[in-house]
Structure 1
């Protein structure tokens, strides 16, 4: 009898080990699933509209997935990535060598994909006399050498401010010449109420705001920016649009990257594949931005001789 009890105990132990291993394997498998689970995603707040729209479609297509979008100004977004708040981030620039070294030391090889091209746009009040702006005037505004107007940014740590500093190769700007608000919506509201201000926002924010509130078109507009050509050529000015961004005519164009720093296969890879795949690129195209890869068109050809 004692012998049988010992056998039962041993069988129970073996079953426990087997179930534990099976659960562990199952848990690992689920955590590695590219279309299942919960994923925090850090997003440059100037890109929030297009990423939010893409995330909504992704979640509706894959009900077992959940994306938590964490909107941050660019500097804070990078800091959040480096502090392991999340391992997937959407930015308008790649990490610097110094920032990237944090992941290299841990043996993490990032998966980086460009998903779209956006633009930094300047907006003003429709009652303002200006409809165009030379690049030298934009630079002068940043340096505080052009009185009477102020540049209004969505945040002091914004990617739009960093972009213009990099574009004009400025080490510093005049803090008295610029103002920073809470977000892009605040910038548009401020410009709609003030004629002496020039707002700086992401183009995708402008498009989404106009879509939601068409009355904004009666209050604000995008400025045409000088496109510097060869010396001696007459200057041309272009407003931001899908075509001028795609053709490189509008000068302040910036890439949009999704960067996956997950150490293993996971939902970050699935979301990246969605954004850069045909469906994700169609969302970008429909939103008015320029997709990194132009989605294909399906053409159905019918032989009329077989149609009665």
Structure 2
């Protein structure tokens, strides 16, 4: 009788444990919920990719947090988000911190080429800006160049391009890329710095209204003027072209890695193209017929 009781208890606990295991849903590329983070400069393409991925995989939920680039990286280290989008290169210290806290190889999932764009009021007499002028203005107490905030991708990328650290630069701040565009006309002597993705959607009225409300400055490098158009971004001739990429702390093939793979493959690259950005893995092919 005693042995029978023990058998019943054992069967009960075995059944209970198996039920608990089945109740735990581990995410994979087709199901689950995760949170990722992206700088406001990349919000449009980040939203487009996550929305398309969820539409194709209806059992998934990807929460997108819009957050300054540096803060997003810290949240990735602290496991508060599963993946982030970056544009600048990580420093040696950041790479070491990633290795120490995440204990994974750093494998960037490159998916798009974007650009940092310099804009002035529509009626400004300025027609271009040189690399030398940009560097000079960022050392001036007049602070004529306006960024969308500290710790932002635009500031970080320009500083890295000039071999500086952001704290060494002098600049003004208007929070948010769209606000920089909308308010630049109040400051006729200022130069705004925004992401191309803020104004790149070719068939989006809001995006095009923003684009048409300012003058986009070509950047002069080595006496040659380059506009932030797709051809110059594709060829990397535009000096402030940057590659957008994902990094993740996900050590298995889960939902974050599923999103990254999608973004880097054909369907995701089509989404990138519709955003008006240069897909990283799809380039135009020309076929000559004879």
What TM-score do you get using the length of structure 1 for normalisation? 0.83
Answering whether residue 253 of structure 2 is matched by residue 259 of structure 1, we say no
- Give the secondary-structure state (helix, strand or coil) at the position aligned to 2:105: coil
The aligned counterpart of 1:181 is 174
**Per-residue deviation at 1:117?**
0.9
Cα pair distance change 1:50/1:114, threshold 3 Å: same
- Structure 2 residue matching 1:143: 3-state secondary structure: coil
The yes-or-no answer on 1:192 pairing with 2:185 is yes
SS at match of 2:199: helix
Distance in 2 of aligned mates of 1:159 and 1:108: 24
Distance 1:218 1:287, change over 3 A: closer
Residue 290 (structure 1) aligned with residue 239 (structure 2): no
> By how many angstroms is 1:22 displaced?
5.1
Aligned to 1:130: 126
Partner of 2:67: 72
Matches within 5 A, 1:79-228: 79-105=74-100, 106-144=102-140, 150-171=144-165, 172-175=167-170, 178-208=171-201, 211-213=204-206, 214-228=208-222
| Displacement of 1:151 | 0.8
Residue in structure 2 matched with residue 11 of structure 1 by the alignment: 8
The structure with the largest alpha-carbon Rg is 1
CA distance in 1, matches of 2:203, 2:186: 16
1:205 deviates by 0.8
**Secondary structure class of the residue paired with 1:35:** coil
| Partner deviation per Cα, 1:150-175 (whole Å, 9 max, x = no partner) | 11111111121122222222355453
Q: Is the 8 A contact 1:281 1:295 kept in 2?
A: no
Quote the RMSD (CA, aligned, Å). 2.5
In 1, distance between residues paired with 2:36 and 2:118? 28
Distance 2:61 2:260 in 1: 14
1: distance between equivalents of 2:98 and 2:225? Answer: 42
Shift of 1:208: 4.2
Shift in Å at residue 86 of structure 1?
1.2
Residues 181 and 213 in structure 2, CA contact (< 8 A), matched pair in contact too: no
Q: Which residue of 2 aligns with 1:275?
A: 263
Name the count of aligned residue pairs: 282
**Secondary structure of the residue that 1:259 maps to in structure 2?**
strand
Deviation string, structure 1 residues 52-84 (Cα, Å, up to 9, x no partner):
111111111111111111111122122222222
Residue of structure 1 equivalent to 2:34? 39
Distance 1:296 1:207 in 2: 18
**Partner SS state of residue 204, structure 1:** helix
Q: How much does 1:94 deviate?
A: 4.2
What is the deviation of 1:42? Answer: 1.4
Quote the Cα distance in structure 1 between the aligned partners of 2:37 and 2:120: 30
